[in-house]
Amino acid sequence: MGKRVAICAVSQIKNDGDYWYLRFQNMLLPCLEAILEQTGVTFDLDKGIRDIITCSDDVYDARTISNNGVTDVVGAHLRGEEKMAQEAINGLGYAMASILSGHDDVVLFMGHCKETQTESRLMNTNLAFDPFYSRPLGLDFINANAFQAREYQDKSGLTDEHLAKIVVRSRENAKKNPYARENELVTVQDVMKSSMIADPIRELHLYPVTDWAFGMLLCCEERAYEFTDNPVWITGFGNCMDSYFLGDRDLTSNFSLKRAAQRAYEMAGIKDPKKDFDVVELMDSFAYQLPLWAEGVGIVDEGKGAEWIDGKGADDQNVNLSGGMLNGNPIILGGVARALECVLQLRGEAGKSQVKGAKRALAHGCYGAAGQHQAVVVLEK
């Protein structure tokens, strides 16, 4: 890799269980203003932002081409605008490609999702399936993921108690994160007593309904210091798409995640993912996914996820110190939220969760039933 792409600034609103009094445009606007304030960047056609990437979920917004409805609050009026119709973490790859290709120097990247607008997440994710075969069966991202969870339990020996520990840890970590959704602390017993919704997934194993928005400013290496003294570099990116039909996949092989990670590691020159990262953020929308994805990105040996939970491996490797998605980020943004947390860590702005001297971080995101599409980003100071 010759040139690098910098993340010059990040901004967010607090993750909330119900921004009932805000339009999603209201959620984005403070994120835009914070970026402008932090960096002094303008929308000047020669030197400023000429291209904006946004991420939103049309079904959650109940609006076709939902990016068209937020132009003013992301500054996209009379500028180039492109939408990431995939887990937002891929927007980093998109922005990176735009900058490395020389198409533009500065890219603003914004995203939002207001999960509370919809009556039912299950109905929305049911719409992710084909209308002839899977949708009538009632498949959604919970019961489809339960297939994966069950199979992974068999493969790794992950128990109900392990899952409960993951939830307890997520909530404890999130208490240190001022932008995390406010949740009650829970005990292992609380989690194990929470209602079973799709065996083995219990209510507390699943990320809560959340509203959130964020912003990021990306820039080419040459100009990064115009906007910050403390850039974070994207040094690796890879993503990979697996089969749409669940029946075509081995649900616990992590096939697509391994491919995505391999691609990112090659680009960033990562030799040993177990040792090379100071901070790791994995998109655990469900408790069982934390050890599963940890295996997939290679920070845990295959099939050893349960032991890793027993052995405090997640703490030793600084995994999801932010609380993770499990504590609450909306769908389609759970991965980019991981990247944003990594940026804060590398900038030394992670507050009570700060890992001293963090130099290199791994951020992961996925979207689709049982992690169909996977993406991995390597970030460095």
Partner 1 sequence: MAEYFGVKVEDIFNTMQERFRPEGAQGVDASFGYDITGEGKWKLTVKDGQMNIEETEDLSDCVVVTITDGETFVGVNIGKVDGMSAFSSGKFKAEGDLGALGKTAKMFRKYAPAKKEMSIRDYLIDMFGTVVERFKPEAAKGMDIKFAFDLGGEYGGQWTVIIKDDTCQVIEKIEGKPTIKLEFMDAKDYVDFSLGKIDAQSLLAAGRAAVQGEINLALKWGEFFEKYLDPMASGEKEQELLVLKKTISVGQRFATGPVMGKFLNALKDKKILGTKCPECGRIMLPAREICSECRVRFSEWVEVGPKGQVRYMDYVYYASPDPLTGETRDTPYGMISVLLDGCKGNDTFAHIVRNDQIDRIEFGWNEMAGTRVRPVWNEKRTGSIFDIKYFEIDE
Binding site for partner 1 (CB under 8 A): 19-26, 29, 32, 36, 43, 59, 62, 71-73, 75, 77-78, 114, 116-120, 123-124, 127, 131-132
CB of 23 to partner 1, least distance (A): 4
CB nearer partner 1, residue 26 or residue 354: 26
Q: How far is the CB of 79 from partner 1 (least distance, A)?
A: 10
Do you find a cis peptide bond into 200, omega within 30 degrees of 0? yes
Query: Among residues 117 and 159, whose Cβ is nearest to partner 1?
Result: 117
Please report, to the nearest 10 degrees, the dihedral formed by the alpha carbons of residues 293, 295, 300, 306 taken in order: 80
Nearest-approach distance from CB 132 to partner 1, in angstroms: 6
Min dist CB 69 to partner 1, Å, is 11
Contact 338, 283 (CB under 8 A): yes
CB nearer to partner 1: give 139 or 379.
Answer: 139
Q: Is 182 helix (H, G, I), strand (E, B) or coil?
A: coil
Instruction: Decide whether 1 or 123 has the Cβ nearer to partner 1.
Output: 123
Tokens of 167: 């939830």
Cβ nearer to partner 1, comparing 73 with 246: 73
Spatial contact of 1 and 49, defined as CB atoms under 8 Å apart: no
Of residues 25 and 354, the one with the C-beta less far from partner 1: 25
Give min distance, CB of 8 to partner 1, in A. 18
Q: In 10 A of CB 333, how many CB atoms?
A: 30
Cβ 22 to partner 1 shortest distance, Å: 5
Shortest spacing between CB 209 and partner 1, in angstroms:
12
Q: Which is nearer to partner 1, 26 or 194 (CB)?
A: 26
Distances (CA, A) of 79 to 51, 76, 92, 153, 238: 6, 5, 19, 49, 28
CB 198 within 8 A of CB 288: no
Q: What is the CA radius of gyration of the chain?
A: 19
Residue 122 CB, shortest distance to partner 1, in Å, is: 10
Spatial neighbors of 92 by CB under 8 A, at least 6 apart, are 7, 109, 216, 218, 234, 237, 336, 339, 377
Cβ count within 10 A of residue 297: 27
3 state DSSP class of 54: strand
253: helix, strand or coil: coil
Give 19 or 286: the residue with its C-beta nearer to partner 1: 19
Of 185, 5, 214, nearest to 99 by C-alpha is 5
Question: Measured from the CB atom, is 58 or 160 closer to partner 1?
Answer: 58
CB of 206 to partner 1, least distance (A): 19
Comparison of 108 and 280: residue with beta carbon closer to partner 1: 108
Q: Rounded to the nearest whole angstrom, what is the least distance from the CB of residue 142 to partner 1 in the complex?
A: 16
Angle subtended at Cα 165 by Cα 185 and Cα 174, rounded to the nearest 5 degrees:
40
Find tokens 């993750």 and name the residue.
15
Q: How far apart are CA 218 and CA 214, in angstroms?
A: 13
| Selection from 172, 196, 207 nearest residue 17 by Cα | 207
Return left, alpha or beta for 254; rule: phi > 0 is left, psi -120 to 50 is alpha, else beta. left
